[in-house]
């Protein structure tokens, strides 16, 4: 098995951006005011900001392999669109981006290809298999009746993401996730300092895996659906602003998690035991999270958050047709977010934080983790921006697949802004995974040289 928990990097897109702009202009009426690049497009109360990123990316370990890594490089183009509308009593925002990657080369050793596949898999085919043309994400939010005692807040996020995995023999070596997360809240404001927001959410996830992959089914054809997840339930958020920019919050959420397939006959469902064809149990669950604490700006330059509570995920082993004692593994843990940020000047600052939480996972029951993170930024001469980030996650997986991991990612970016609408610069990063299952371990060093434009 060659698998590490994917790290999703949120990128955005909305197809038909021109149609969205045309519709927006038609709804608002009037014509767009003339604007220079960087000033955005203004139509009535709307601000429209088209953008484009283009660059070259190199990676030392394209397939995230534990041994004999293969380097590769691609060309990346990412057009995007942001729309913001703010009236007296309503607010709407939309951010979107499409991302295309054309692979220009990948290290290839024909001797590692099985004889049966050598007639169809060569250097050119392996390179072309890594092309990605369908990655996108859209994030929309609306806040209505903002000046009323009773208001409404809506949010929807959709994304389609292809993440390369250790399946270089596949025609489509990607772990693919389509996700749509819809949430709504009724905003109750009995006083100017107190808000209560009862609501609900529904999240849909569709996971697909390559044919030659550890968790693929024995009869999996290329890029077939692996499993589908539905999560839904009520939420409750209340906030008391005891200072103008600081609030005491109580956040509660109850989730029902249901999987379409309760067990999958995987090629290698038990990496530690090496059992071929053993059913991979995917039980349904119910989850509860309750946290309370404060967050906000303590001084004009200092912000902080300290929120803690309890969470649990109770997995129903009876929802799995094939008995698996590991399906009963539950998650019970304290929840904690503690972070502080200092911003001495615009464009410069330091942030440090810690998070304890858990997530439902598509290939086992759950992962509980400690996450330590650090970020520092600086702006020199109003043109040159520096950004350094570091994150370390200590992960414990429970369920049909049990293991402990350490995932680290460090990055450094430098951006020079030629003007308000054009920028250029490199980003370097190093990410590494260590695990009790050495088959998922890898190191990957990358370089992205990118130019950005925003009208």
Q: Is residue 6 assigned to a domain?
A: no
Q: Is residue 2 assigned to a domain?
A: no
pLDDT bucket at 209, cuts 50 / 70 / 90:
confident
Q: Which structural domain, as residue segments, surrounds residue 91? A: 17-454
Instruction: Supply the CATH number for residue 390's domain.
Output: 2.40.160
What's the pLDDT at 215? 54
Contact assessment for residue 227 and residue 177, using Cβ atoms and an 8 Å cutoff: no
Q: What is the pLDDT of residues 138-164, one digit of tens each?
A: 999 999 999 999 999 999 999 999 999
What's the pLDDT at 79? 98
Classify residue 318 by burial, with Cβ atoms within 10 Å: 0-12, 13-18, 19+.
exposed
26 phi and psi, to 5 degrees? -65, -35
Region 192-207: mean pLDDT is 96
Contact assessment for residue 380 and residue 386, using Cβ atoms and an 8 Å cutoff: yes
Contact assessment for residue 289 and residue 277, using Cβ atoms and an 8 Å cutoff: no
Q: Is residue 1 assigned to a domain?
A: no
What are the angstrom distances between the C-alpha of 387 and each of 98, 374, 384, 415?
24, 11, 10, 9
Q: Is residue 102 assigned to a domain?
A: yes
* Confidence check: pLDDT of 347 > 90: no
Higher-confidence residue: 165 or 77?
A: 77
Q: What percent of the chain has a predicted confidence (pLDDT) above 90?
A: 65
Q: What is the pLDDT of residues 64-86, one digit of tens each?
A: 999 889 999 999 999 999 999 99
Region 179-187: mean pLDDT is 98
* Confidence check: pLDDT of 361 > 70: yes
Q: What is the mean pLDDT of the chain?
A: 86
What's the pLDDT at 298? 92
| Lowest-pLDDT choice from 45-54, 272-281, 430-439 | 272-281
Label residue 116 left, alpha or beta by phi (over 0 means left) and psi (-120 to 50 means alpha): alpha
Q: Is residue 105 assigned to a domain?
A: yes
* Confidence check: pLDDT of 220 > 60: no
Q: What is the pLDDT of residues 394-435, one digit of tens each?
A: 999 998 889 999 999 999 999 999 998 999 999 999 999 999
Region 370-380: mean pLDDT is 97
pLDDT bucket at 337, cuts 50 / 70 / 90:
very high
Q: Which two tokens stand for residue 143?
A: 């806040």
Give the position of tokens 């996971």: 207
Q: Is residue 4 assigned to a domain?
A: no
User: How much of the chain is in helix, strand and coil states, percent to nearest 5?
Assistant: 5, 60, 30
* Confidence check: pLDDT of 10 > 80: no
* Confidence check: pLDDT of 212 > 90: no
Its sign, for the CA torsion 33, 34, 36, 41, is: positive
Q: Is residue 5 assigned to a domain?
A: no
What is the Cα–Cα distance from 355 to 314, expressed in whole angstroms?
21
Higher-confidence residue: 382 or 199?
A: 199
* Confidence check: pLDDT of 7 > 90: no
Q: Is residue 444 assigned to a domain?
A: yes
* Confidence check: pLDDT of 122 > 70: yes
6 phi and psi, to 5 degrees? -65, 145
What is the Cα–Cα distance from 224 to 174, expressed in whole angstroms?
11
Q: pTM of the predicted model, to two decimals?
A: 0.86
Quickly list DSSP for 302-359: EEEEEEEEEEEEEE-GGG-SS--GGGG--EEEEEEEEEEEEEEETTEEEEEEEEEEEE
Our count of domains for the chain comes to 1
What's the pLDDT at 11? 33
């Amino acid at each position: 098995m060659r698998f590490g928990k994917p790290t999703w990097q949120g990128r955005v897109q909305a197809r038909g951006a021109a149609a969205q702009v045309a519709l927006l202009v038609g709804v608002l009426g009037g014509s767009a005011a003339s604007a220079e690049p960087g000033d955005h497009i203004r139509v009535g109360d709307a601000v429209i900001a088209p953008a484009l990123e283009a660059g070259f990316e190199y990676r030392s370990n394209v397939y995230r392999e534990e041994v004999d890594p293969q380097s590769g490089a691609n060309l990346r183009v990412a057009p995007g669109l942001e729309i913001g509308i703010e009236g007296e009593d309503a607010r709407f925002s939309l951010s979107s981006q499409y991302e295309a990657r054309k692979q220009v080369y990948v290290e290839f050793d024909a001797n590692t290809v099985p004889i049966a596949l050598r007639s169809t898999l060569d250097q050119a085919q392996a390179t072309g298999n890594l092309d990605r043309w369908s990655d996108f994400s859209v994030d929309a939010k609306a806040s209505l009746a903002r000046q009323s005692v009773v208001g409404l807040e809506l949010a929807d996020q959709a994304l389609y993401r292809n993440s390369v995995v250790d399946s270089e023999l596949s025609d489509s070596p990607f772990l693919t996730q389509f996700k749509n997360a819809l949430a709504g809240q009724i905003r109750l404001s009995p006083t100017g300092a107190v808000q209560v927001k009862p609501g609900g959410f529904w999240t849909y996830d569709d996971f697909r895996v390559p044919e030659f992959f550890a968790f693929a089914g024995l009869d999996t054809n290329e890029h077939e659906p692996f499993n589908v997840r539905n999560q839904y339930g009520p939420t409750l958020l209340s906030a008391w602003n005891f200072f103008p920019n600081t609030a005491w919050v109580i956040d509660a959420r109850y989730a029902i998690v249901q999987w379409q397939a309760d067990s999958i006959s995987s090629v290698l469902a038990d990496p530690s035991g090496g059992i071929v064809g053993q059913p991979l149990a995917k039980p349904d669950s119910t989850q509860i999270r309750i946290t309370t604490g404060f967050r906000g700006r303590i001084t004009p330059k200092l912000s902080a958050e300290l929120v803690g509570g309890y969470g649990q995920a109770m997995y129903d082993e009876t929802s799995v047709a094939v008995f698996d004692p590991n399906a009963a593994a539950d998650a019970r843990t304290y929840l904690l977010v503690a972070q502080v940020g200092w911003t001495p000047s615009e464009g410069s600052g330091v942030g440090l934080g810690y998070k304890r939480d858990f997530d439902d996972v598509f290939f086992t029951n759950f992962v509980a983790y400690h996450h330590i993170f650090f970020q520092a930024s600086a702006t020199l001469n109003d043109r040159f921006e520096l950004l350094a980030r570091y994150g370390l996650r200590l992960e414990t997986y429970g369920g049909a697949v049990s293991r402990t991991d350490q995932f680290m990612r460090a990055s450094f970016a430098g951006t020079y802004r030629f003007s308000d609408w054009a920028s250029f610069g490199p980003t370097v990063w190093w990410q590494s995974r260590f695990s009790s299952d050495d088959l998922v371990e890898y190191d990957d060093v990358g370089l992205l040289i990118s130019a950005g434009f925003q009208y």
